[in-house]
Every structure is written in structure tokens, then in C-alpha cells.
A = this chain, B = another copy of it.
Amino acid sequence: MRTRDENKESAIREKAMQMIVDEGFDGLSMQKLAKAAGVSPATIYIYYKNREDLLNQLFNYVQQTFHEVALEGFNPNLSFEEGLWIQWKNRLKFILKYPIHFQFYEQFRNSPCINHSDINLAHFKENMKLFVMNAIKKGEMKKMEPEIFWSVAYGTLYSMVKFHLQQISMMGNTFKLTEPKMRTAFDMVIKALKP
């Protein structure tokens, strides 16, 4: 039997995300995608059941790799400050390396009618739960609801990333997110979360 062409699979995946980031969800048509990926429209349907399945699989793919990268070098017994900082750095690394993937991911998260599958995140969530519980027990962090923790700990980071990627400026000159700037914001976040 004929073998699958891995290049075709990744071409479809990458071009699809590129198109969505460039033109939005309504900018992605199967025929334009096929042309961009150098493939017949029918070939896409070998890899994906239909358009919706394509989008969901892309989302799951990015979600999985993003959270894997976020946990590199991390374990829940690290000190609160060190553990959180590793995650900030890991996330930034991924975002700068795969800005298209991340922007697709964010656009997807802010859209409706979405299969918000959390299966892939079980391991990640388990780690975070332990990490936060430890931090509270050790007195490194105030006790609070997980959504509030998440919003303080990561809302700030994501907002800065959005400024960086979307080149939206607050006062005129564009904002470039560097590690020192990350550190400035991170120190504020740590201060906020301390008991």
C-alpha cells in the first residue's frame, strides 16, 4: 500500500493555522487551504473528517504541545516563585517560537461552538493543583479560589503577550516583550499573591 506523506499532513496543519491567523475563521475554506498546502481538497478529508474536525484537532494539537512545554523543567515541589517563573519562561518561549500556533489557539479559545476538550490537560491540571496546594501550605501564597489565582498569575502574562503579538500600542510606540520586562511583571505578580 501507498505510504502517507508526512509533509502533506503538516503542510495542511500549518497552512490552516496561518490562514486562520491571517484572515480569521471565515477566511479558512477547504479549497483555499488545499491550494495553499499544495494538495487536493479531497486529501484533507483523508486526514480530517470535516472542517469542524480539522479545527478541533488543530486546537487539541496546539493545546497539548503548549501545556507540555509549560511543564518543562517543572515539578510541583519547587518553590512557588521558582515554579511559577519556569512556567512563565516556558510559555513565553513557546509563544515566541510558534506565534502562529499561539494566536490560532487564542482565537479559538475566544470563539464559540467549540469542543473544549480537557482530556489532554489532566496531567497538567494535576501538577498545578499540587503546586498551588503546596504553595499555600508552605505559606508562599495566600489561600484563594483557583480561578482567582489563575487570573492573577497568568492573566497579566497573557495580556502582555497580546500587546507584543498584536502590535497594539498603548501610547504610540509598540511594545516588545523581553525577559527583563517579564521579570518586572512577574515580581509584581508574586508580591500580589504572597500572604
Residue numbers of A with Cβ under 8 A of B are 21-27, 106-107, 109-113, 116, 125, 129, 142, 144-148, 150-152, 154-160, 163, 168-171, 175, 181, 184-185, 188-189, 191-193
Contacts and interface: CB of A to CB of B under 8 A. Distances in A.
Interface of A is mostly: helix
B147 A175 contact: yes
Nearest to A142: B188
5 contacts: A22-B112, A116-B168, A129-B171, A150-B159, A151-B155
B113 A27 contact: yes
A113 B22 contact: yes
Nearest to A168: B116
Most chain B CB atoms below 10 A, which of A23, A151, A170: A151
A23 to B, nearest CB: 6
Nearest to A190: B192
A146 B159 contact: no
